[in-house]
Amino acid sequence: MQIIENSKIKEKLYVEKLSNGLTVIILPKKTRKKYIVWSTNFGSIDNKFYAPGEDILTVVPDGIAHYLEHKLFEQENGRNSLDVLTSIGVDANAYTTNDHTAYLFECTDNFDEALEEFMNYVQNPYFTDENVEKERGIIEQEIMMYDDEPTWSLYMNALKCMYKDNEINIDVAGTKETIAEIDKDKLYKIYNSFYRPDNMIIVLAGDFEPESALEKIKSKMTLKAVEEETKRVYNEEKLDIVEKYIEKEMDISMPCVLIGYKDNDIKSNKIKKDISIEILGDLLFGKSSETFEELYESGKILSEPGINYEFSKTYAHTLIQVQTNYVEDVIKVIDEKIEKMKQTGINEEDFNRAKKKIYGEFIKDYNEVSTISSIIVADHFKGIDSFDYFEEFKVVSKEYVEKVLKEIFVEDRKVISVIKPISK
């Protein structure tokens, strides 16, 4: 077992690649909690591929990754594994993202009993015409719930303004029309193509002895190695944005704004850029920033604007979110402060303060087993070692952050998504 140690945060990762190709990462922590997540590199963007051993392109309905996530809990014996895990006091769940699907549970007791059920249902799908059809109405309700969620609409509208062909535009849950095309044969094909060991990772964090935990995983592993490759196909994305502005009325009390900047340089050092965007977010919008002070004192915002850099192997963008009754004024001030910082540069003292603050927040993530496990999984599928963030912090300079500021916040790649209250 390989041991990867970071002396700065006093953490060790125990990493083993099993003979079938599956990666297991164990992060022991001094806590009573035990957390495990099993994830496959298959999400909403993976809708076109060549299945193992096939030379005909397979195109699957939008939302199928999420649909499969729902169905995997149902077993041939009639039990629902989610109910079984809950009944023994285990907090179990699952989620689907753009690029991966994850199954997980957290507990302080009954880990071995829960692991037996967990390893069984993830490795033994059971799809029938009847149980697939039964789930359709449930997922339709979930889609309607997403459609009524203002922050989700705000986010999806921003993506549609930025991207014309990139699969990130696909709603994770799909639509009523697309999920109507899903059947058991499509689900089995997805499972056999992507739920393969070399495309998966298991992360354990918490009260574990690494060797013992690894042996438990190995003893319950039944998935076999797959020799033939699953070849994904993605659309080519143009550099230009689609449209500058989009607005929608929904049942909310205060308008929400999302300003997005499309990043076309998807092959750059994403870790350094991610750190830089976090630092810029604090400098531009943190509680000690000019922007926050001006907007808060004038009563135009009540809380800090949030900033986030999202990226994968096929896309990258920066998002700034704020809630305000003064949409045009707030956007104007944000634009002005960004331009001012571009012109004047970053104060060295402010930079060092912000860098230390962001570094501390990264360290804090390691205190919560669920948070750090999710981060390790997401980073793994992006081709990133999570410990690399701490190494890159050393080399992120003021000059580099100023360079990112000028490269990211470009007017021609900016979009604005607004959700406003329904007009009276």
pLDDT tens per residue across span 27-77? 999 999 999 999 999 999 999 999 999 999 999 999 999 999 999 999 888
3-state secondary structure of 59: strand
Instruction: State how far the Cα of 414 lies from the Cα of 424, in Å rounded to an integer.
Output: 30
Q: Which residue has the tokens 């339709």?
A: 140
Mean pLDDT of the region 348-361: 94
**What pLDDT is recorded for position 108?**
94
Structure tokens at 359: 């570094």
Fold match flag (2-232 vs 245-421): yes
Confidence of residue 78 (pLDDT cuts 50, 70, 90): confident
What homologous superfamily is domain 245-421 in, according to CATH? Metalloenzyme, LuxS/M16 peptidase-like (3.30.830.10)
Instruction: State how far the Cα of 375 lies from the Cα of 365, in Å rounded to an integer.
Output: 9
**What pLDDT is recorded for position 115?**
97
Mean pLDDT of the region 334-362: 94
Written as one string, the DSSP assignment of 37-48 is EEEES--TT--E
Per-residue pLDDT reduced to its tens digit, 87-96: 999 999 999 9
Strand 91-96 to 23-28 pairing: unpaired
Per-residue pLDDT reduced to its tens digit, 189-240: 999 999 999 999 999 999 999 999 999 999 999 999 998 999 999 999 888 9
Q: Where are the domains of the chain?
A: 2-232, 245-421
DSSP β-bridge partners for residue 316: 311
Instruction: State how far the Cα of 273 lies from the Cα of 346, in Å rounded to an integer.
Output: 16
* Residue at 242: amino acid letter: V
**What pLDDT is recorded for position 267?**
79
**What pLDDT is recorded for position 9?**
81
Instruction: State how far the Cα of 119 lies from the Cα of 92, in Å rounded to an integer.
Output: 13
Cα angle value 362/99/81 (rounded, 5°): 95
**What pLDDT is recorded for position 10?**
86
Active centre residues (catalytic) = 69
Confidence of residue 266 (pLDDT cuts 50, 70, 90): confident
**Over pLDDT 90: what percentage of the chain?**
86
Check if the beta carbon of residue 256 is closer than 8 Å to that of residue 151: yes
Q: Model-level pTM?
A: 0.93
Structure tokens at 217: 């995983």
Q: Which residue has the tokens 């692991």?
A: 115
- Measured in whole angstroms, the distance separating CA 381 from the mean position of its chain's CA atoms is 10
Per-residue pLDDT reduced to its tens digit, 278-326: 999 999 999 999 999 999 999 999 899 999 999 998 999 999 999 999 9
Structure tokens at 12: 């060790």
**What pLDDT is recorded for position 6?**
82
Q: Which residues of 394-403 are buried (b: 16+ CB within 10 A; e: fewer)?
A: eebebebbbe
Q: Which residue has the tokens 């793994």?
A: 380
Question: 94: Cβ–Cβ under 8 A, 6 or more apart, which residues?
Answer: 69, 72, 73, 82, 101, 102, 103, 104
Q: Which residues of 119-155 are buried (b: 16+ CB within 10 A; e: fewer)?
A: bebbeebbbeeeebeebeeebbebbeeeeeebebbbb
Per-residue pLDDT reduced to its tens digit, 363-403: 888 889 999 999 999 999 999 888 889 889 889 999 999 99
- The CATH code of domain 2-232 reads 3.30.830.10
Written as one string, the DSSP assignment of 119-149 is HHHHH-----HHHHHHHHHHHHHHHHHHHT-
Q: Which residue has the tokens 């604005």?
A: 416
Instruction: State how far the Cα of 283 lies from the Cα of 66, in Å rounded to an integer.
Output: 37
